[in-house]
Amino acid sequence: MFGGWMLLVWFTLQIQTFNSLTITGLEFPNDITLGQSVTMICRFTVRPNQKLDSVKWYKDAQEFYRLHPSGPALERKKYFNLPGVKIDNSSTEFILNPGSGEHRMALHHTGIASTGTYRCQITEAQAPFHTEQIDKDLNVIIRPEEGSPIMIAKPTVGTIGQEINLRCSSDRSKPAAQLSFFINGERVPEDRMSREEIITEDDGKLESSFRSMSFIIQDSHYVRNGIIEVKCNAKIGEAYWKSATASIQLQGRPSYMLESRSSANSGISLLSKAVLFLYLSPHKTGLLCF
């Protein structure tokens, strides 16, 4: 009998929580640039006629915003000062539709202090007062100085078998840009590039990155216009991507093209000799018949 009662309680609780409040996602870019505005969208599902007690937002486990959707107008919203968090009230809104809803938290005038882990937490108003929460990281970056990245290629004119040296740099950003090389559109494997060097600037905040590589010009590098295109790509998360290019003028043609041309000439020469032999032979022997 006791076991049956416990089963009934468990079953009742399952009915109460089934299809109850559920957060389905927290959406915003992982990386933004300094000063860029960002809107964080917390999406959730609810049962028909289900009421919400609160929507709360945290940064690094510290609350900075609270909304009571059904509360009195004067007590509906509460703000808590937090470094790096500047709320744009004109773009922050709560939307509730049948079966689903979302809360949009808009931040503007972002700074380095805005970097952190953000949490959306929603609690229902009825028993069992179920609470859902979800976290996501935001990184605020400082873009590299204008003109970055910079790539130097030496020499810029070469022949098959010659070594080409490349050096790329990206100046003063936060964090340092990740550098990679491409030859004729194909990414150079990590083991063929030097280890990336990162230098902290005098201000102690900004960083510069450097990387180099070298390659031997081979037949496979030849393209129709005789120019090898090399590229250095600088990347910081999802917020910054820029590249610098250089062209290497290739002198002379690959050996396989010369061999192919030589073989073709040899073939024509042999064919010409054979035709000439067949044409001249009857005249010499007197056996040519019409």
Nearest to 123 by CA among 7, 23, 267: 23
Question: What secondary structure does DSSP assign to 20-60, as a single string?
Answer: --EEEEEE--SEEETT--EEEEEEEE--TT--EEEEEEEET
Q: Are residues 175 and 216 in the same domain?
A: yes
Question: 270-279, pLDDT tens digit by residue?
Answer: 444 443 334 3
- Residue 8, in any domain of the structure: no
> Does residue 79 belong to any structural domain of this protein?
yes
Cα(110)–Cα(279) distance, integer angstroms: 89
Same domain, yes or no: 97 and 30: yes
Query: What does the buried/exposed string (b/e) look like for 108-132 if buried means 16 or more CB atoms within 10 Å of the residue's CB?
Result: eebeeebbbebbbbbbbeeeeebeb
Contact 196, 207 (CB under 8 A): no
Establish if 161 belongs to a structural domain. Answer: yes
Q: Residue 29: which residues within 8 A CB-CB, separation 6 or more?
A: 38, 138, 238, 239
Q: How far is CA 73 from CA 54, 68, 221, in A?
A: 14, 9, 70
214 and 240 belong to one structural domain? yes
Do residues 47 and 27 make contact, with C-beta atoms less than 8 angstroms apart? no
Report the CATH number at residue 171. Answer: 2.60.40.10
Question: Residue 281 and residue 290: Cα distance in Å, rounded?
Answer: 15
If asked whether residues 81 and 180 sit together in one domain, one would say no
CB burial of 245-276 (b: ≥16 within 10 Å; e: otherwise) equals ebebebeeebeeeeeeeeeeeeeeeeeeeeee
Q: Are 121 and 165 within one domain?
A: no
Segments forming the whole domain that contains residue 97: 21-141
Report yes or no on 287 lying in a domain: no
Of 159, 150, 229, 219, nearest to 188 by C-alpha is 229
Is residue 243 classed as helix, strand or coil in its secondary structure?
A: strand
Beta strands in the chain (DSSP E): 22-27, 31-33, 38-45, 52-59, 62-67, 77-79, 93-97, 100-107, 116-124, 131-141, 150-154, 157-158, 163-173, 178-183, 186-187, 197-200, 207-216, 227-236, 240-250
Torsion sign across C-alpha atoms 39, 44, 49, 50 = negative
Residue 225 maps to a domain = yes
Instruction: Look at residues 57, 54, 60, 56 and name the one whose alpha carbon lies nearest to residue 83.
Output: 60
**Is 267 part of any domain?**
no
- Give the helix/strand (H/E) hosting 285: helix 255-285
CA nearest neighbour of 118 among 91, 93, 137:
137
Tell me if 230 is assigned to some domain: yes
- Report the domain count for the chain: 2
Domain end, chosen from 108, 141, 174, is at 141
SS3 105: strand
Of 87, 107, 141, the position where a domain reaches its end is 141
User: pLDDT at position 38, please?
Assistant: 98
Last residue in a domain, options 119, 141, 163: 141
pLDDT digits (tens, 9 = 90+) for 64-75: 999 999 888 778
Residue 237 is predicted with a pLDDT of 93
Tens digit of pLDDT at every position of the chain (290 positions): 445 544 433 334 444 444 478 999 999 999 999 999 999 999 999 988 888 999 999 999 999 999 999 888 778 999 999 999 999 999 999 999 888 999 999 999 999 999 999 999 999 988 788 899 999 999 999 999 999 999 999 999 999 999 999 999 999 999 999 999 999 999 999 999 999 999 998 888 899 999 999 999 998 888 778 899 999 999 999 999 999 999 999 987 655 444 444 444 444 444 444 433 343 344 433 332 32
pTM above threshold 0.85 = no
Residues 127 and 26 occupy one common structural domain: yes
Cis peptide before 155 (omega within 30 of 0): yes
**Contact criterion met (CB below 8 Å) for 125 and 53:** yes
> Does any domain span residue 3?
no
